[in-house]
Amino acid sequence: MSHNFRLMVFSGSANLDLGQEIAQYIGIELGKVKLHRFSDGEIYVRYLESVRGADVFVIQSLCAPINENLMELLIMIDALKRASAERISAVIPYYGYARQDKKTLAREPITAKLVADILSVAGIDRMISMDIHAGQTQGFFDVPVDHLTAVPILADYFQEKKLENLVVVSPDVGRVKTAKRYSDRLNADIAILHKTRPAYNVSETTHVIGKVKGKVTLLIDDIIDTAGTMVGGAQTLKDHGATEIYACATHPVLSGSAVEKLEASLIKEVVVTNTIPVPQKKWIKKFKVLSIAPLFAKTVVNVHEDKSVSELLGGDDQV
Mutual angle of helices 16-26 and 293-304, in 10-degree steps: 60
Tell me the one-letter amino acid at 211: K
- How does DSSP classify residue 318? -
CB 299 within 8 A of CB 29: no
Residue 83 buriedness (CB in 10 A; 0-12 / 13-18 / 19+)? middle
Q: Which of 113, 195, 215, 298 is catalytic?
A: 195
Q: Where are the beta strands (DSSP E) in 131-278?
A: 145-148, 166-170, 189-199, 202-209, 216-224, 244-252, 269-273
CB 246 within 8 A of CB 233: no
3-state SS assignment for residue 237: helix
Rounded CA gap, 35 and 92, in Å? Answer: 18
Nearest Cα to Cα of residue 273 among 299, 300, 294: 294
Rounded CA gap, 210 and 203, in Å? Answer: 20
Across the strands, what pairs with 295? none
CB 300 within 8 A of CB 91: yes
Rounded CA gap, 210 and 213, in Å? Answer: 9
First to last CA, the chain: 28
Q: Parallel, antiparallel, or unpaired for β 43-47 and 33-37? A: antiparallel
Active site residue 177: no
Residues taking part in catalysis: 195
